[in-house]
Amino acid sequence: MVLFWSKKYNFFALKNTTLTLLAVMAGHIGDLLRHEITNPVMTSKESPYFIRQVKRTNKEAKRYRIPSQLLKIKANSITDESRVLMGYLSDARRGLDIYLYDDDKQTLLLLMPLADELEKSGFIARVNSWSKERTGKNLAELDIVIEQQLALPISSDDIKRLVTLS
């Protein structure tokens, strides 16, 4: 354990778990910069890169016990309102989140590295609230469903099967 002096706190302890979390976060940021991804909303052509990121995040979740989430959001009825909401989702993105989006099918796969159940629930609540403010309808009323809500780690064999835009 390394101790740092701070004016606000007498000592600031960096534990191995904190250092591991910082290293994993730095790795994700480095990858985003290396691949020049400033707004990681990928198209179906970029799905191999998205799958690699899911596999990486899954391995980190398993090895370091770092919570991460994978969501699949789909508009069953494609309307102007659903398009507006799906467009908003890319603007509401957390910094490390990576999206795989099919505009024609109105399907979004959302990888939330370093996110626990509470953060996932907060994200869904914010999207519902924004939808209600802008359209007067929540996700269910717009026929937008969250088809998958998975906390990583999951079986590596299941990743390719689960990570599809259909």
Asked, for residue 58, whether it belongs to a domain, the answer is yes
Asked, for residue 24, whether it belongs to a domain, the answer is no
Asked, for residue 32, whether it belongs to a domain, the answer is no
Average pLDDT over the chain, rounded to an integer: 84
SS3 call for 109: strand
Separation between Cα atoms, residue 58 and residue 55, nearest integer Å: 5
Asked, for residue 23, whether it belongs to a domain, the answer is no
| Confidence bin at 154 (pLDDT 50/70/90) | very high
Asked, for residue 16, whether it belongs to a domain, the answer is no
Q: Write the pLDDT tens digit of every residue in 64-83.
A: 898 999 999 999 999 999 88
Overall number of domains in the chain: 1
pLDDT at 38: 56
Quote the pTM value. 0.80
DSSP H or E segment with residue 146? strand 144-152
Question: Which residue did the predictor score with more confidence, 25 or 101?
Answer: 101
SS3 call for 35: coil
The CATH number of residue 90's host domain is 3.30.70.2880
- Provide the domain limits for residue 84: 40-162
